[in-house]
Structure 1
Amino acid sequence: MAALIDAIDIKRKMYFEFENAPYYCLDVEVSTPTARGGQTLVRFKMRNLLTRAVFDKTFKAGEKFKEPDLETIEASYLYSDSDASYFLDQESFDTIPLTAEKLGDALQFLTEGLIIKIDKFNGNPIGLQLPEKVELAVAYTEPGARGNTASGAVTKHARLETGLEIRVPFFVEEGEKVKVFTETREFAGRA
């Protein structure tokens, strides 16, 4: 049986189960009453890992939560079709499908063979974690012209192989591989 956690013991970046769904604690605030007999309350800013919704909720300090049955596995991206995107589990070699709702905008960073982490709740895939940076080829960018730096515009628009559009330095050419931060969608350097 999973261990029970008191609300007062849940800290930032912890996982817990509430109403049969896994949650991630983004922030926690404890309010202790000054009056005698008052109850200590714990306010969480929490993310539902199934729906990705973020909201605030207040609990009594003594309320108990189960530890969620979460597991993270490594998988490589295979391909996508109209139904889902498919990944290969690196240990069991099973194919794992993820629907567009579970992927979010992650498809803009996925290239064949990219190793990612898939989160599972009760054995079922619920989402994925991208690496900090990914390498993508530049599919289109305007040519960098000498003198463009005088106006302070040292970046230009580029469309990458996955359709992601970012700003890159003017010296980056079509066909070159660049590194992109997955969280901020910013240029991280040449590959």
Structure 2
Amino acid sequence: MIVLVVVFATIFKEIHAFMLHSGAQSGLLQRPLASLRRSRGRPDSAGLFMVISTADFKPGVTIELDGSPMKVVEFNIQKMGRGGSFVRTKLRNMLTGTTIDHSFRGGEKVEEAMIEKVPLLYSYDTPDGLVFQNTETWEDCTVSRKQLTDAIPYLKDGMEVTVMMWKDQVVDVALPATVSFEVTETGIAADRAAASRKPATLETGLTVNVPAYVNTGDVVEVNTQTGEFVKRV
């Protein structure tokens, strides 16, 4: 009986050692856990970038096209005969700020732009661009106005924003959903009805239509996506 136990133990050890050796050679035992947790897309054969399908497109998705990071602004799926389709998109170049129209085949694979999100504080405006500060290192970085055209009217000193970086370049900024501003000037309402609107200039120079009851010196909340008045604070 003792001899049989020893024999089985020896066989088990040899099988276990063989499995460890095979797993190490195939890389399965050394594969990082993070590589198994990708929510969408898949790496290329070298593992250098992520590939997604046009089925993953939605406003805000970032892809690389002709060596530049592009953000999907709009997309529309067009059906064709025999089950085919193509996807018409409006893309914004995140480096230059220009917008282009581009069509893809339905299901076409494209490279996803790997965007890093970094929380920064907006400091001030200069002739060279907008200055942001890293709250951990206290280092400043200057971003061209052309890259942040849509965000400029909503930026206030000391505002915390999420800056998007692509290959160590700042390419975009994510603003809070709403921001409060002081009204510096108001226009004249079209009529005296309670629901009438009038133009108002805010502290950053942004102009929005506000209810007739809003006056100079009031603080109002504005939707940063639509530029519309939300409420008086």
Q: Give me the TM-score of the superposition, normalised by structure 1.
A: 0.79
Go from structure 1 to structure 2 and tell me whether the alpha carbon gap of 1:165 and 1:15 turns closer, same or farther (over 3 Å shift): closer
Stretch moving more, 13-22 or 107-116: 13-22
Q: Which residue of the partner structure matches residue 107 of structure 1?
A: 152
Are the structure 2 counterparts of residues 136 and 2 from structure 1 closer, same or farther at C-alpha, using a change threshold of 3 Å? same
Alignment-mate amino acid for residue 231 of structure 2? G
Unaligned runs of 5+ in 2: 1-46
Counterpart check, 1:34 vs 2:117: no
Q: Would you tell me which structure has more strand in proportion to its own residues?
A: 1
One-letter amino acid matched to 2:146: E
1:45 paired with 2:92, answer no
Q: Tell me the distance in 2 between the aligned counterparts of 1:88 and 1:70.
A: 19
Q: Does 1:74 align with 2:119?
A: yes
Structure 1: runs of 5 or more not aligned: none
Larger Rg: 2
Q: Which residue of 1 aligns with 2:65?
A: 18
1:89-129 Cα deviation digits (max 9, x unpaired): 23443212111101214222111111122111111101212
1:1-45 deviation line (CA, Å, top 9, x unaligned) = 33442545543243322221122343253756639xxxx564341
**Alignment CA distance shift 1:34-1:125 (3 Å):** same
CA distance in 2, matches of 1:45, 1:7: 13
Task: State the Cα distance separating 1:160 from its structure 2 match.
Answer: 1.1
Q: In structure 1, how many angstroms separate the alpha carbons of the residues matched to 2:211 and 2:71? A: 37
Distance 1:94 1:58, change over 3 A: same
Question: Where is the helix percentage greater, Structure 1 or Structure 2?
Answer: 2
Q: Could you tell me which amino acid in structure 1 is paired with residue 176 of structure 2?
A: P
Alignment correspondent of 2:100: 54
Do 1:12 and 1:28's aligned partners in 2 also have CA atoms closer than 8 Å? no
Question: What is the identity, as a one-letter code, of the residue corresponding to 1:34?
Answer: R
Alignment-derived partner of residue 125 in structure 1: 170
In the superposition, the TM-score normalised over structure 2's length comes to 0.66
For 1:133 and 1:30, the matched residues in 2 are separated by 34
Match of 1:182 in 2: 224
Query: What is the percentage of aligned positions where both structures have the same residue?
Result: 23
Q: Which residue of 1 aligns with 2:128?
A: 83
CA drift at 1:66: 2.7
CA distance in 1, matches of 2:228, 2:54: 38
Does the aligned pair in 1 maintain the 2:178–2:223 contact within 8 Å? Answer: yes
